[in-house]
Amino acid sequence: MSADPKRGRFAKAKGEIILREHEFDGIQEYDQKLPNWWLFTFYGAIVFFVGYWFVYYGTSLLTNPQQAVQEKILAVQAVQLKELNKLLADLNDSKLVYELATNPLYVAAGQATFTKNCVPCHGVDLSATQDDGKGKKIPLPGLPLTDHQWKFSDKPMGLFNLINKGSPPESTGNNGAKMEAWGQKLSPVEIAQVLSYVISKVPADFKDIPKPAAN
């Protein structure tokens, strides 16, 4: 408590400093009214906030950030779907095995995508293991892609679908690990490329796929 703080108009008129009665840790507060210009900006900000909030979230006059993001996502998904359908209209088992997986440029592009995205789970050599540097192989979460066994589909288009959409909903995964839908991150062309790379490593697995009709 400050001893006898001077208060009121009288002290103020004399130009004396007026303090409020409370004190905390030796800190005191002037007893002065905030200037009106300050108060009006403050109250104005509150009124503006209520109006702004109402217009944004209570009416459909302006799109709020959530709606804007949602619209963008839908637009991106529409573009992705169009691109996918365009590629799928033109893609089939024979084309993947005999055209794309034998095209060095396509396979090289697929290898780059594989190195960047798939190696952590499927390994550099597609064996789903990693060398620990002492000659021991540590298993990785993915399935081996060179063991000539295909868990879901042994058809190229089935594999395309699996990579695009990830583990099917009914899969319990490989030791519980499932694969994500790569279509969320890779373009359809990139998926076709990475699959061509995988096919190029085990062409014998796809020898039953009919050759494209000669024209």
Question: Which residues lie near ligand HEC (CB under 6 A)?
Answer: 114, 117-118, 120-122, 141-143, 145, 149-152, 159, 162-163, 167, 171, 173-174, 177-179, 182, 194, 198
Please, what is the minimum distance in Å from the beta carbon of residue 127 to ligand HEC? 12
Please, what is the minimum distance in Å from the beta carbon of residue 95 to ligand HEC? 18
User: Which residue number, 19 or 194, has a Cβ lying nearer to ligand HEC?
Assistant: 194
User: Which residue number, 11 or 84, has a Cβ lying nearer to ligand HEC?
Assistant: 84
Question: Which run of H or of E encompasses 24?
Answer: strand 19-24
User: Which residue number, 19 or 200, has a Cβ lying nearer to ligand HEC?
Assistant: 200
d(Cα 11, Cα 23) in Å, to the nearest integer?
A: 19
Cβ neighbour number for residue 114 with a 10 Å cutoff: 21
Please, what is the minimum distance in Å from the beta carbon of residue 141 to ligand HEC? 5
User: Which residue number, 19 or 191, has a Cβ lying nearer to ligand HEC?
Assistant: 191
| Three-state SS letters, 32-76 | CCCCHHHHHHHHHHHHHHHHHHHHHHHCCCCCCHHHHHHHHHHHH
Please, what is the minimum distance in Å from the beta carbon of residue 93 to ligand HEC? 14
Q: Determine the distance from the C-alpha atom of residue 104 to the mean position of all C-alpha atoms in its chain, rounded to a whole number.
A: 31
Torsion sign (Cα): 137, 154, 164, 86: positive
Please, what is the minimum distance in Å from the beta carbon of residue 186 to ligand HEC? 6
User: Which residue number, 67 or 153, has a Cβ lying nearer to ligand HEC?
Assistant: 153
Q: Name the residue among 50, 47, 30 with its Cα closest to residue 39.
A: 47
